[in-house]
Amino acid sequence: MTEAATRQAPKVAKKKLQGYVGFANYPNQVHRRSVKKGFNFTLMVVGEAGIGKSTLINTLFNTRVFPDKDESTIGETRRGVEISSMSAEIQENGVRLRLTVVDTPGFGDSINNDDCWQPILENIESRFDAYLTQENRVNRSKISDNRIHALIYLIKPTGHALRAIDIEFMKRMHTKVNLIPVITKSDTLTQDELVGFKSRIIADINYHGIQIFKPQWESFEDPEVINENKDMLSKIPFAVIGSDKIIEKPDGNRVRGRLYPWGIIEVENEKHNDFIKLRKMLVCTHMEELKDVTDSILYENHRSQKLVTMGHEQDNTVFREYNPTAQMEEERSVHEARMSKMESEMTAVFQQKVQEKESKLKQSEEELYARHKEMKQVLEKQRQELEEKKKRLDSQTRPITPLDKKQKKGLFNLS
Ligand SMILES: Nc1nc2c(ncn2[C@@H]2O[C@H](COP(=O)(O)OP(=O)(O)OP(=O)(O)O)[C@@H](O)[C@H]2O)c(=O)[nH]1
Ligand SMILES: [Mg+2]
């Protein structure tokens, strides 16, 4: 049998139900349970001062996650990156989402920005470490997941290409977090400028081997879903505008947007910017995938590296793919080895017993022989003694001569 054949999964027979069983309701049970528990999502936003981080987050979640800034603090020079997180519980149609947004004011603000990525990387890793510590606890029923599920990296709308600081930052982060590069304040670029800017960004990202988060799809999925994902992918990096202001249009409709002397730019208008695409990917379609990639790839990598540095090595033979034929073969050879060991042990015992018996027999034979010899000697001695006695007796007694015939006659005569 070829290896491929032995590796084939056991065949599952398809059975037709003859009546109602009810497990089709299982997804609803999962849905109810998840809704009851609520969801959590942690998002980090990185970008230099005044690039539009707070505005974007408030626009994305339609709430003031970040309060309005005190005017007096605008333009203040910061000593380094300050990382602050804010949580908000938001509800939509009865579904609760605990959203945590981690802001990083001060990024790229210093005169020397060589290591400005360092505190951010440390923050992401320390969240992984905290999760690992919780996982290693005896009681793991209440693990709180504070890992960063996505990082929105805001790119300044320069219209040129990525800056050295952008490349350095993304290179340092892409193995630790789902990177979502986003061009902010895209209202400052014309349509043509934006197309060229996006293609140069993508070229830079590819050239430097940076992994950014991209929507994935499977061939068996709905064609509509596939098209939606393809469309989403074609717009990456998303170019967005942010605004938490509601503006009244001349037709009376109230929209979220930015008001200019020449008109209004609407946030939620796909012709004006990619905000809808970004929000859809982040919230409607790929939130679970972002969490899943974080858990099963990014965190797993960090975790295994950490354990290796701590001196733990994984025995990969334990995690071999299950192959029933190979397992049977293995069990058979183990059984055979055990049997032959038992057999050789038994033979050894048998031989030892035989040897013991043989030596005992030999010993008793020798004893018997010795006794026999002794008795023979005794008998010989007795025989010799008797022989001697006989001789002696023979020599003492006269040889019996025939009685005097006369005497004998005389005797008879008497009668
Ligand atoms: N033209 C334009 N301006 C924007 C956009 N988004 C935000 N802004 C403006 O940019 C300024 C800074 O926005 P914030 O959201 O406070 O920027 P930030 O990155 O949070 O700033 P820090 O917290 O100081 O680092 C504000 O005046 C916003 O109104 C946008 O899409 N287009
Ligand atoms: Mg801010």
Specify whether 347 is located in the same domain as 224. Answer: no
In the chain, what are the helix, strand and coil shares in percent, each to the nearest 5?
50, 15, 35
Confidence band of 49 (pLDDT split at 50, 70, 90): confident
The answer to whether residue 324 is domain-embedded is no
Nearest CA among 170, 162, 231 for reference residue 198: 162
The neighbouring-strand residues paired with 246 are 256
Nearest CA among 135, 137, 78 for reference residue 109: 78
Residue 232 Cα, ligand 1 centroid: separation in angstroms? 25
Question: Which of 55, 72, 259 gets mutated to test ligand 1 (max ligand atoms within 8 A of its CB)?
Answer: 55
Specify whether 35 is located in the same domain as 95. Answer: yes
Which residue CA neighbors atom 1 of ligand 1 most closely?
185
Residue 3 pLDDT > 70, yes or no? no
The answer to whether residue 19 is domain-embedded is no
Give the Cα separation of 271 and 186 in Å (integer): 12
Specify whether 242 is located in the same domain as 365. Answer: no
Give the Cα separation of 334 and 285 in Å (integer): 51
Specify whether 257 is located in the same domain as 166. Answer: yes
Residue 412 Cα, ligand 1 centroid: separation in angstroms? 176
Specify whether 229 is located in the same domain as 289. Answer: yes
Specify whether 224 is located in the same domain as 298. Answer: yes
Give the pLDDT mean for 325-334: 86
The answer to whether residue 382 is domain-embedded is yes
**Listed range (48-52, 126-130, 349-353) with the worst mean pLDDT:** 48-52
Nearest CA among 205, 209, 204, 166 for reference residue 184: 166
Q: Which atom from ligand 1 is nearest to the alpha carbon of 48?
A: 25
More confident position, 5 or 49: 49
**Listed range (21-35, 308-322, 382-396) with the worst mean pLDDT:** 308-322
Give the Cα separation of 158 and 172 in Å (integer): 22
The per-residue DSSP string of 238-282 comes to: EE------EEE-TTS-EEEEEEETTEEEETT-TTT-SHHHHHIII
H or E element in which residue 8 lies: none
Give the pLDDT mean for 21-29: 84
Q: Are 226 and 216 in contact (CB under 8 A)?
A: no
Specify whether 298 is located in the same domain as 355. Answer: no
Q: What are the start-end ranges of the H helices in 208-298?
A: 223-234, 275-279, 287-293
Which residue CA neighbors atom 14 of ligand 1 most closely?
52
Residue with token string 């001569």: 401
Residue with token string 């910061």: 78
The answer to whether residue 14 is domain-embedded is no
Residues with CB under 6 A from ligand 1: 47, 49-55, 69, 105, 184-185, 187-188, 241-242, 258
Q: Mark which of 319, 352, 375 sits at the end of a domain.
A: 319
Q: Which atom from ligand 1 is nearest to the alpha carbon of 243?
A: 6
Specify whether 65 is located in the same domain as 184. Answer: yes
Q: Which atom from ligand 1 is nearest to the alpha carbon of 241?
A: 31
Domain with residue 112: its CATH number is 3.40.50.300
Q: Is the peptide bond before 237 cis (omega within 30 degrees of 0)?
A: yes
Give the Cα separation of 121 and 77 in Å (integer): 22
What confidence score (pLDDT) does residue 348 get? 94
The answer to whether residue 346 is domain-embedded is yes
Specify whether 87 is located in the same domain as 126. Answer: yes
The answer to whether residue 402 is domain-embedded is no
State percent of the chain over pLDDT 90: 43
Residue 378 Cα, ligand 2 centroid: separation in angstroms? 125
Please give all residues whose CB falls under 5 A of ion ligand 2, grouped by chain where several chains appear.
53-54
The answer to whether residue 233 is domain-embedded is yes
What confidence score (pLDDT) does residue 327 get? 80
Nearest CA among 123, 200, 115, 220 for reference residue 160: 200
What confidence score (pLDDT) does residue 64 get? 67
- Cα three-residue angle 27-9-335, rounded to 5 degrees: 125
Specify whether 309 is located in the same domain as 377. Answer: no
**Domain ranges, residue 388:** 339-397
Confidence band of 36 (pLDDT split at 50, 70, 90): confident
Q: Mark which of 319, 352, 374 sits at the end of a domain.
A: 319
Nearest CA among 156, 151, 51, 163 for reference residue 102: 151
Q: Are 144 and 134 in contact (CB under 8 A)?
A: yes
Q: Which atom from ligand 1 is nearest to the alpha carbon of 59?
A: 6
Q: Mark which of 274, 291, 319 sits at the end of a domain.
A: 319
Q: What are the start-end ranges of the H helices in 85-222?
A: 118-135, 164-173, 191-207
Specify whether 115 is located in the same domain as 192. Answer: yes
The answer to whether residue 1 is domain-embedded is no
Q: What is the per-residue pLDDT across 115-124, written as a single tens digit (0 to 9) for each?
A: 788 889 999 9
Residue 51 pLDDT > 70, yes or no? yes
What confidence score (pLDDT) does residue 8 get? 60
What confidence score (pLDDT) does residue 320 get? 60
Specify whether 352 is located in the same domain as 285. Answer: no
Which residue CA neighbors atom 3 of ligand 1 most closely?
185
Confidence band of 415 (pLDDT split at 50, 70, 90): very low
More confident position, 77 or 268: 268
Nearest CA among 242, 233, 297, 211 for reference residue 47: 242
Count of domains observed in the chain:
2
